[in-house]
Chain A
Amino acid sequence: MSDDDAELLARIRNGAADDFSELVQRHQSQVFAILYRYERDRGRLEDLAQDTFIKAWRSLPQFDGRAPFAHWLSRIAVNVALDHLRKTKRQRNEIGLADLGEDALDWLRGADEVDSRQAAELLAVAMRELSPAEQVVITMQELEGHSIKEICVRTGSSSVAVRVRAMRARQKLRKVLERMTEETKLK
């Protein structure tokens, strides 16, 4: 944990609740970056980020300071994202080609390039067919670049479970993207 965070946390624990705003300012970009991988709607993203900070606020007495505060906070953010995916899973497990832009459809038809926004949207749509736990693992591994060990720490899952989920998620994603390619070519 950075010394600055430790000092700030000590002040908050001693009753300076207003100092929590500085902690929010320091870590809000990190929290938004994590949650944006799971929720692309701006309003819902802000709600999830707020949930993350409020849960962190309530759990501060349990934070023992052994790990950096940023790691602890990112674990809370991942849990908030997982809960959100579980809640919304039933509403959006169908593939929505209509949700995609023309660039993404062109790339599926065989174009060489795809921009970052279109690629992220395409992945978000394809990931709807994955389970929430698989979505979290593949996102952390492929989009955030975390190792299996880091994913275990941040999700609280075993190494075997993470490896199996990552493998299944890749297989499922590949199949979904192949199906989307077929559908796009037929259009």
Chain B
Amino acid sequence: MNEKKFEQLFRAARAEPAPAPAQDFEARVMRTVHRQLAGQEASMLEQLSAMLPRLAAGAAVVIALCLATDLCLSSFVQPDLSAGLNQLAEQWLFAAK
């Protein structure tokens, strides 16, 4: 095949127009975009809900540690545990009374 014929083929093919997009093409793209956005929101919720048991366990450990520390400290200051607890109750729990 000579160069002239080869070039003629390219020249002719170059002139072919591409088909126009369908009327609803843009709507189709936007439907997929919205689906992806909804998917992202759902996955954020899923991540949060997956973290909740760990958060709850962590909070329980912190509360237990606080209670233990408080009890230990008060037992150093007050050898009598019940007196210490009474004082604690008076000071903190029923302070408003």
B-binding residues in A (CB < 8 A): 17-18, 20-21, 24-25, 28-29, 32-33, 35-36, 42, 45-46, 49-50, 53-54, 57-58, 107, 114-120, 122-123, 142-143, 145, 170, 173-174, 177-178, 181
Residues on B with C-beta less than 8 A from A24 are 25-26, 29-30
> Assuming A122-B9, A123-B9, A174-B6, is B33 touching A117 (CB within 8 A)?
no
Residues on B with C-beta less than 8 A from A20 are 29-30, 33
A21 to B32, CA, bound (A): 11
**Contact across chains for A114 and B30 when beta carbons are under 8 A apart:** no
**Contact across chains for B30 and A145 when beta carbons are under 8 A apart:** no
A183 to B35, CA, bound (A): 50
Min CB–CB distance A21 → chain B (angstroms): 5
Min CB–CB distance A167 → chain B (angstroms): 14
**Contact across chains for A120 and B13 when beta carbons are under 8 A apart:** yes
**Contact across chains for B26 and A36 when beta carbons are under 8 A apart:** no
Interface size on B, residues (CB 8 A): 27
Whether, in the assembled complex, B54 has its beta carbon less than 8 Å from a beta carbon of chain A, the answer is no
Residues on A with C-beta less than 8 A from B9 are 107, 114, 119, 122-123, 177
Whether, in the assembled complex, B21 has its beta carbon less than 8 Å from a beta carbon of chain A, the answer is yes
> Assuming A25-B26, A54-B32, A178-B1, is B13 touching A49 (CB within 8 A)?
no
Residues on A with C-beta less than 8 A from B26 are 21, 24-25, 28
Min CB–CB distance B95 → chain A (angstroms): 48
**Contact across chains for B10 and A114 when beta carbons are under 8 A apart:** no
Q: Which of B16, B25, B27 is within 8 Å of A116, CB to CB?
A: B16
Whether, in the assembled complex, B34 has its beta carbon less than 8 Å from a beta carbon of chain A, the answer is yes
Residues on A with C-beta less than 8 A from B37 are 17
Whether, in the assembled complex, B50 has its beta carbon less than 8 Å from a beta carbon of chain A, the answer is no
A-contact 0/1 string along B25-50, CB 8 Å cutoff: 11111101110110000000000000
Residues on A with C-beta less than 8 A from B19 are 32, 36, 42, 45
A173 to B25, CA, bound (A): 34
Which 7 A/B pairs are nearest by Cβ-Cβ distance?
Answer: A119-B12, A116-B16, A36-B18, A119-B13, A33-B18, A116-B15, A120-B13
Min CB–CB distance B7 → chain A (angstroms): 9
**Contact across chains for A32 and B21 when beta carbons are under 8 A apart:** yes
> Assuming A28-B25, A28-B26, is B14 touching A117 (CB within 8 A)?
no
A173 to B19, CA, bound (A): 25
Q: Which of B10, B12, B20 is within 8 Å of A29, CB to CB?
A: B20
**Contact across chains for A143 and B14 when beta carbons are under 8 A apart:** yes
